[in-house]
Amino acid sequence: MPPPLPPDPIEPCPPQAPAMDAALPAAVVATILSRLDVRSLLLAAAACRGLRTCASHALAFLPSFHLLEVALTHDLLRPLLPPNPSMRSLRLDCARLDDDVIGCLARSSLHELLLLNCENISGRLLCELGATCTDLRVLSLNSLGERRGLVVNFSDLQELLNGCSQLESLRLAFDFSTFDDPNFGRVWASASERLSSLEIGYIPMTMLLELLTAVMKAKQCMDYVKAPVFFPGLQKLCLTVDFITDHLIGSISVALPSLTHLDLQDAPIIEPTSSSDLTNTGLQQINPHGKLKHISLMRSQEFLVTSFRRVNDLGILLMADKCSNLESVCLGGFSRVTDTGFRAIIHSCSGLHKLRVSHGSHLTDLVFHDIIATSLCLTHVSLRWCKLLTDVGIERLSFNKDLNVLDLRDCRSLGDEAVRALSCLPKLQTLSLDGTDISDEALKYLGFGTCPLTSLSLRGCRKLTDDCIPLLFAGSVKQSLQVLDLSRIPSVTDDGIMLLARSRTPLIELRMRENPKIGDAAVMALASMQVDGGTYGSSLQLLDLYDCGGITPLATRWFKKPYFPRLRWLGITGSLNRVMADALARSRPFLHMACRGEELGTMLWDTYSDWYRHNDDDLDELEQWLLDGEPVSDDDTIMEE
């Protein structure tokens, strides 16, 4: 057979598609890129050299720079934040940053600055913000200067309040005892008159009372002398204190008459005395001006098992009588309040949308007995550690068809019939059933129900088995569920996780911590799972395998690329193999690894943590762009022990 003839040299070659920078004018490309958020912009830059050049120019004109999904070093962050007079909003995870970055963060054009995990940054940041960011409207910092050896001085706070004269919202989620100074109360007179929201992580009672006393004295003097004005428009106050007391409630009510949102939490280390505790008298002093829309009084049991022992139904009845306009109520640790008190809130507050009760040891089904007769439209309900609540009460609660979030953790008397009633709620998206008495049958109700669940927590539901997995994903829940917690369920094994992988449910977060029968096979199944033709393990951004009994060092190799390309949070047992864990951290520098049992994820970051719902499949390209296209060295790949 003769060989094929060579192509005719005169015949032209087929035309090739022009490059992006050649197909469109640079001005058009720049306009398109200017409409993208930061992550989309960086992903576009990874596509070709032309887009990379345009993206670099676009970074100098972005009005907002939000990058909370990865914690960058200063060397990686610096080229992404060139001088930019147009930047108004900056949000970052500062876990890998220190004081060297302060000059990069303090920008005169900023109106909003939100920084997470600032433990390696000193109080000098506050001073620099006060000197530079005079137009700042919103400031949120947490964990500032918590690393040992760093200093946060009173003078830093003073400079911040003096300089940022346009602040409307201030959130400083760290220990305020570092600001202890004789002038602490008076320095707040220089705070912005526009300040409407103030949140403080922890403030000693003496410092708080000093501040409130200064505010009350200034109000008393205003009639006959010119006195400084404290918080003229403050509407929201959130504090953590040593003890919530009658005196504190009374002082807040007098000093801050414009409050619409009051959130107080304490965590006693010793049992409160009668003079250092909240009583019925203190509850009578709440909301004297009738402006409150949200009230939260929580007693944490972090250090001591205690409660508000001096408050009973009478105190709640008196509070409810003055707070009929409340839209949100959170009560934690009111161990002597019975159904009578809780019913008073439900029946008095016709506009109530959010109800949270924790450690309600006397709360029973009677609270919701005639809820259908009220005009309530509850959307968020949390009833944690209400152990007398049964299926009957939840069936009554389910008459609220607008329920969107329901937290029933540690309500140990709840069973399958409660879930059956909830499975028909048309708007229910978040459901927590940790520690309840449900069985596989309950998951069947959810699987074939109509609620569009996006988050389901089953932690500690010990009756569940592998059979619950196919029952849950047999119906429409498979299309909506993104977050699943299967931790502390001793009967869930590798076989159950294989069934989950076969369902190809596009989960974003999966927690399986402290399961003795979960091992390497489960990791392999998840690593090999493909969703809608994507890459291996493409959908998972969080995977918690801490203290799973069957995990061996071999499982660590499955976290190498190309597996789990979108993974941002990984929980493993640190003692499993320190060398391999360290090698994994080097090969995937943007992976948050937790090896000491700490809880994972962005849910702890409150309302600013919506990034995890972003549905890109190419986050590995983002890493590559941030690393300037340099491949990871073979020496840093995962090695066998």
pLDDT digits (tens, 9 = 90+) for 203-241: 999 999 999 999 998 888 766 556 677 899 999 999 999
Pairing label, strands 430-432, 455-457: parallel
87 burial level (CB within 10 Å; 0-12, 13-18, 19+): buried
Q: Chain-wide mean pLDDT for the chain?
A: 87
Return the closest-CA partner of residue 359 out of 430, 283, 410: 410
User: Could you tell me if 541 and 567 are in contact, meaning their C-beta atoms sit under 8 angstroms apart?
Assistant: yes
**Domain edges within the chain:** 29-62, 63-216, 482-608
DSSP 118: -
63-216 and 482-608 in the same fold: yes
More confident residue, 190 or 38: 190
Per-residue pLDDT tens digits for 149-186: 899 999 999 999 999 999 999 999 999 999 999 999 99
Per-residue pLDDT tens digits for 375-416: 889 999 999 999 999 999 999 999 999 999 999 999 999 999
CA–CA distance, 279 with 308 (Å, rounded to integer)? 8
User: Could you tell me if 400 and 378 are in contact, meaning their C-beta atoms sit under 8 angstroms apart?
Assistant: yes
User: Could you tell me if 195 and 235 are in contact, meaning their C-beta atoms sit under 8 angstroms apart?
Assistant: no
Helices 154-163 and 124-132, axial angle in degrees (round to 10) = 20
* 267: Cα separation from own chain's centroid: 21
Return the closest-CA partner of residue 593 out of 559, 557, 639: 559
What is the sign of the dihedral through the CA atoms of 115, 117, 120 and 122?
A: positive
Return the closest-CA partner of residue 546 out of 565, 526, 566, 518: 518
CA–CA distance, 409 with 432 (Å, rounded to integer)? 6
Q: What confidence category does residue 22 fall into, taking pLDDT thresholds of 50, 70 and 90?
A: low
Per-residue pLDDT tens digits for 576-596: 667 777 788 788 888 888 888
CA–CA distance, 638 with 29 (Å, rounded to integer)? 40
Per-residue pLDDT tens digits for 232-272: 999 999 999 999 999 999 999 999 999 999 999 999 999 99
- The string of DSSP letters for 297-312 reads EEE--SSS----TT--
Architecture of domain 63-216: Alpha-Beta Horseshoe (3.80)
* 226: Cα separation from own chain's centroid: 44
According to DSSP, the residues that pair with 192 across neighbouring strands are none
Nearest-10 Cα torsion for 68, 70, 75, 77:
-30
Domain 482-608 fold is: 3.80.10
Q: What confidence category does residue 553 fall into, taking pLDDT thresholds of 50, 70 and 90?
A: confident
Give the Cβ contact number of residue 303 at 10 Å. Answer: 10
Pairing label, strands 169-175, 236-241: unpaired
Indicate if the pLDDT at residue 61 is higher than 50. Answer: yes
Half-sphere exposure of 565 (CA within 13 A, CB side): 18
**Percent of the chain residues past pLDDT 70, beyond the cut:** 87
